């Protein structure tokens, strides 16, 4: 039996530390928790997206400071992705004031597609809507750095057979004998 839940990285790490889950899938940078093993599984790059209301930005290369004048859509503050973005922009003396702070990246893509502002999400979350032409990725003078998606588990515990098999399937591996 497998139970899948969704939550921000800090919450996922708390539940893992309390023994409430076998493993979590989180993004870096994240605060490491004691006795945890981290395994990078794929790179993640964030991008800024917009809908047709912002068409004049489509073929322009923007600096981050220009984003300060635009309505902004992002994840809630309690996420590692939001913390990463805020810290990255703060180093460039840029502060974005969100019009909307949402719980999921899927919601950000939908709000951007409905022209409610400029969203920031992992490229993978926006790829389908970009391909359909519902949103486009902004071109910035400097891309956001690549982060990692990682599987994190309590290194003191062995995974349940169901959790181990799910990880194998996610990694495209052949099942290991019991």
Residue-wise pLDDT for 115-155, tens only, equals: 999 999 999 999 999 999 999 999 999 999 999 888 888 77
Least Cα distance to 149 among 165, 173, 176, 125 occurs for: 125
Q: Cα–Cα distances in Å, from 77 out to 9, 17, 114, 139, 140?
A: 11, 21, 23, 25, 23
**Are the C-beta atoms of residues 44 and 148 closer than 8 Å to each other?**
yes
> What's the mean per-residue pLDDT of the chain?
88
- The tokens describing 15, both together, are 């539940």
**Are the C-beta atoms of residues 135 and 50 closer than 8 Å to each other?**
yes
Question: In the predicted model, is pLDDT for residue 178 greater than 60?
Answer: no
Question: In the predicted model, is pLDDT for residue 102 greater than 80?
Answer: yes
More reliable by pLDDT, 158 or 35: 158
More reliable by pLDDT, 91 or 35: 91
> How do 46-50 and 118-122 pair as beta strands?
antiparallel
Question: In the predicted model, is pLDDT for residue 109 greater than 60?
Answer: yes
Q: What is the pLDDT of residue 176?
A: 58
Burial class (CB in 10 A: 0-12, 13-18, 19+), 90: exposed
Q: What is the pLDDT of residue 175?
A: 57
Q: What is the pLDDT of residue 144?
A: 94
Q: Residue 177 — pLDDT band, cuts 50, 70, 90?
A: low
Q: Residue 171 — pLDDT band, cuts 50, 70, 90?
A: low
| Rounded Cα gap, residues 81 and 79, in angstroms | 5
| Rounded Cα gap, residues 152 and 36, in angstroms | 6
Global confidence as pTM: 0.81
43 - beta bridge partners? 148
């Amino acid at each position: 039996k497998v139970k899948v839940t969704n939550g921000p990285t800090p919450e996922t790490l708390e539940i893992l530390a309390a023994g409430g889950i076998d493993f979590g899938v989180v993004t870096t940078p994240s605060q490491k928790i004691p006795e945890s093993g981290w395994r990078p599984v794929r790179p993640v790059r964030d991008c800024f997206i917009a809908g047709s209301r912002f068409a004049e930005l489509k073929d322009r290369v923007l600096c981050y400071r220009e984003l300060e004048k635009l309505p902004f859509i992002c994840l809630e503050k309690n996420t590692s992705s939001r913390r990463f973005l805020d810290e990255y922009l703060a180093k460039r003396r840029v502060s974005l004031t969100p019009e909307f702070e949402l719980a999921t990246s899927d919601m950000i893509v939908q709000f951007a597609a409905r022209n409610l502002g400029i969203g920031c999400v992992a490229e993978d979350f926006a790829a389908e809507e970009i391909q359909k032409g519902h949103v486009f990725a902004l071109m910035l003078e400097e891309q956001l750095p690549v982060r990692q998606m990682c599987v994190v588990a309590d290194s003191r515990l062995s995974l349940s057979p169901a959790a181990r098999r799910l990880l194998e399937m996610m990694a495209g591996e052949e099942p290991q004998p019991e």
